[in-house]
Homo-oligomer: A and B are copies of this chain.
Amino acid sequence: MTAQRRVTLVTLAADLGVSRATVSNAYNRPDQLSAALRERILARANELNFAGPDPMARGLRRGRVGAVGVLVDQGLSYAFSDPATVLFLDGLAVEVQQDGYGLLLHAGPGGPADPTFVRNAVVDAWVVQSLPDDHPAVTAAQAGRRPMVVLDQPALAGVPRVRIDDEAAAAQAVRHLLDLGHRRLGVLSMPLRSDGHQGWADLRRQQEATYLVMRRRLGGAAAEVAEIGATWAEVPVVECASNDPDAGALGAGELLRLPSRPSAIFAFSDQLALGVLRAAADAGIEVPGQLSVVGFDDSPPARAATPPLTTIVQPLRDRGRAVGTLVRALLRGETAAEPAPYPFHLEVRASTGPPPEHQATR
């Protein structure tokens, strides 16, 4: 009949005639009280339906809530639809779980998290996964003065970043195509800015891309093209509005309808490359006989595709673990040095071969 207050440490302590510190110790420091009393406390707690110290209050006092906030580009379903992202998150989750941290994900319908939510989020640290340079959510997260680690982009002063040498990787992919004899290249890029643009990206748009990784890859590809004396400005670059096979197929369609059709397409992600394969199949273009395709990431579907994709291999899950390791170190109060770029390599599979014009001469 009495007004039923919530059961807390104090309720229990009063009920048992002990101090609340003792009850707290029963949960957190079993060595600080006799086993008998501890038993009695836990038993009574059970009777009173007390589930243990409130995580929130503990969080405030201890300064740790057990959550790592993750900022991903676009909505959750987009993020989750890319196996590369999923593997990253999995590696990250497994790693931070070792210290009892979970992942907190915010997601608007299609857009990334609102800065307001970022400011109000109860987290111990932030992980940023591939956001553009100027993203407001990143700024908001930085204002919170909590440990932070970035995957790939953006580059932030004083914030460790796990990445590969995207410039070198792109160069290597292009070099592979050039070595095979290809001279009519096409590039299929992920978004260069987050404005939903789908279609041609001229030099200016390339240079002004707010996604650092895209600038780097374009730069690496351009350097390699210049190497053989060709002009980068003549290489058609199509930007996809999102990173999925549908957008990739759309973009590939534009490249394949060019009067001077590319004999090779370098897609900046496997998701897009899968779209290229689909577009080629739909148009009756043989891969690699009439068209070579190179991807990026080495996500599982790339291996399983028909034909299996030649792609840049970057250890996706390992990079997630690496980010997790850095987060854990920062949360322990250690200062994490900027790690060296992660290793990568080009895995040549069946989606690339010599261009049609060379095949007769072999």
Contacts and interface: CB of A to CB of B under 8 A. Distances in A.
Interface in A95-129: 97, 100, 102-109, 113, 116-117, 119-123
**Interface residue tally on A, bucketed by range:** 35 or more
B122 A65 contact: yes
Contacts of A317: 77
A93 B83 CA distance: 19
B75 A80 contact: no
Q: How many copies does the complex hold?
A: 2
B67 A93 contact: no
A119 B51 contact: yes
Contacts of A86: 76-77, 80-81
A67 B143 contact: no
A49 interface: yes
A93 B122 contact: no
Given A55-B122, A59-B56, A94 B81 contact: no
Contact of A97 (B56, B59, B106, B144): B106
Contacts of A97: 106-109, 117
Given A80-B80, A122-B59, A144-B51, A106 B117 contact: no
A181 interface: no
A273 interface: no
A170 interface: no
Contacts of A113: 102
A328 to B, nearest CB: 15
Contacts of A93: 75-76, 105-107
Nearest to A49: B145
A102 B105 contact: yes
A57 interface: yes
A60 interface: yes
Nearest to A144: B51
A89 interface: yes
Nearest to A110: B94
Contacts of A108: 94, 97
Interface of A: 49, 51-52, 55-60, 63, 65-67, 69, 75-77, 80-81, 83, 86-87, 89-90, 93-94, 97, 100, 102-109, 113, 116-117, 119-123, 143-145, 317
18 contacts: A51-B144, A56-B122, A60-B60, A65-B65, A66-B122, A75-B94, A77-B90, A80-B90, A81-B86, A93-B106, A97-B106, A97-B107, A100-B117, A102-B121, A103-B104, A103-B107, A104-B104, A105-B105
Given A80-B86, A94-B108, 17 more contacts: A55-B120, A55-B121, A56-B56, A56-B63, A56-B122, A59-B59, A66-B121, A67-B67, A76-B90, A76-B93, A76-B94, A77-B90, A81-B83, A93-B106, A94-B109, A102-B121, A105-B105
